[in-house]
Amino acid sequence: MVVSAAGERAFVEYDHVQKSYDGETLVVKDLNLSIGKGEFLTMLGPSGSGKTTCLMMLAGFETATHGEIRLDGREINNIPPHKRGIGMVFQNYALFPHMTIAENLAFPLEVRKMDKTERETKVQRALDMVEMGSFGGRRPSQLSGGQQQRVALARALVFEPSLVLMDEPLGALDKQLRETMQFEIKHIADNLGITVVYVTHDQTEALTMSDRVAVFEDGRIQQLAAPDELYEQPCNSFVAQFIGENNTLEGVVESIHGGVALVKLDSGDLIDTVPVNVNRAGERTRVSIRPERVETDATRLGPDAHTLKAEVLEFIYMGDTFRTRLRVAGTDDFIVKTRNAPDRARLQPGQTIDIGWMPEDCRALDA
């Protein structure tokens, strides 16, 4: 039995699942993943990483080449999509243009042989849930993109599934509407207690909405963790680079002792780091540090901080923050994000400054 992160029996289980389209190349490689009941799990990764294939196998639109997929303890590999009782939301909405909104929502209920009175009650409840209660008589062509997305969500929820799958559902929306819908989807999922498996390549969406995030690359999960752990404690260079913005400095491990790796950067500078996936002296490493963890005025930090000389190459005012690009330890793409405050100096290109950070904010990853 696979258990979820919460320690209870998993609601969704991928057990040694593989997928190949040509019999040779594996698109999904030995996937073992458990998702708890009521959990919001996001599959995040670049195009071709295997995340959408994993979702489509769970939905029943793709068949696993090897392994088992279970839903609430029942193996579902050979159960057709329409009998799995799973709600689906796609990026293209997939609404029937010749039907009214109410008819679109009633369709999955008709398929389930529900009587007319109950259908009407459930349709109205689902429309109210997404704040579209008065739109039942309209057709999809009379709605904006955001309204169509709400209807697609309502249709996925109308038959009260225990599991809803979402494949890039907000990809076609503009930035502001996308951000609004992120919170709305999360609130609806929480209020209904449904399990959601969400696929996206948008890191902000994943961090904002999820209980846990599975980062995919090359058909495998690189890291599975809560959003804050994923961002603050990436387990390898791919995750560090893919999730948010990240500075990297190349070097060689000089020693590892007492949970601290001493790294000699290629510039000759020595820095203490947290050893994540380095094991011995002499190993090449890529040191990772987030832009907001770096201080452009090293005097603001305590005596344990690392300090390095830096040359200001670019200073950009962004309203609530300043974004500074620096030349540091041989790289010209070292970024620092600083909160805009009255006591913050505006730096000038060509200026030499002392930057600093705390050793615990610096991670020695694979090269």
**What's the pLDDT tens digit per position in 16-68?**
999 999 988 999 999 999 999 999 999 999 999 999 999 999 999 999 999 99
What does the alpha-carbon distance between residue 126 and residue 71 come to, in Å, rounded to a whole number?
A: 24
Provide the 3-class DSSP secondary structure of residue 281. Answer: coil
Tokens, residue 221:
């999960």
Domains and CATH numbers, the chain: 12-237 (3.40.50.300), 246-365 (2.40.50.140)
pLDDT greater than 80 at residue 205 = yes
Dump strand ranges (E) for the chain.
12-20, 26-35, 40-44, 66-71, 74-75, 86-90, 163-167, 195-200, 212-217, 220-225, 247-257, 260-265, 270-275, 284-289, 306-317, 321-328, 331-339, 352-357, 363-365
Planar angle of CA 86, 90, 87, nearest 5 degrees: 15
pTM score: 0.88
Structure tokens at 149: 């997305």
Cα dihedral across residues 127, 132, 136, 138: positive or negative: negative
- What is residue 288's predicted lDDT score, i.e. its pLDDT? 95
In the prediction, which pLDDT does 2 show? 41
Distance, CA of 278 to CA of 295 (rounded, Å): 26
Helix (H, G, I), strand (E, B) or coil at 50: coil
Pick the more confident residue, 282 or 177. 282
Average pLDDT value for residue range 192-196: 92
Kindly report the CA angle at 83 between 148 and 25, in degrees rounded to 5?
85
CA distance 120 to 123: 5
Strands 66-71 and 74-75: antiparallel
pLDDT of residue 355 exceeding 50, the answer is yes
Tokens encoding 229: 């752990």
Residue 160 has pLDDT above 50, yes or no: yes
Q: CB of 75 within 8 A of CB of 231?
A: no
pLDDT at 14 > cutoff 80: yes
Residue 181 host element (H or E) = helix 175-192
Residue 131: the pLDDT is: 84
Q: Comparing 91 with 352, which gets the higher pLDDT?
A: 352
CB atoms within 10 A of CB 118: 10
Residue 1, pLDDT above cutoff 80? no
Mean of all residue pLDDT scores within the chain: 91
| Pair of tokens at residue 70 | 């279970």
- Bridge partners of residue 249, in order along the sequence: 287
Q: Kindly calculate the radius of gyration of the chain based on its CA atoms and give it in whole angstroms.
A: 25
Tokens of 175: 């930035």
At 328, the pLDDT band (50, 70, 90 cuts) reads very high
Q: Which amino acid is at 88?
A: M
Task: Tokens 């993109």: give the residue.
Answer: 145
CA contacts within 13 A on the Cβ side of 111: 13
Mean pLDDT value across residues 293-299: 92
Please give the pLDDT value at position 5.
52
Residue 191's contacts (CB-CB under 8 Å, 6 or more residues apart) are none
Burial class (CB in 10 A: 0-12, 13-18, 19+), 280: exposed
Over pLDDT 70: what percentage of the chain?
Answer: 98
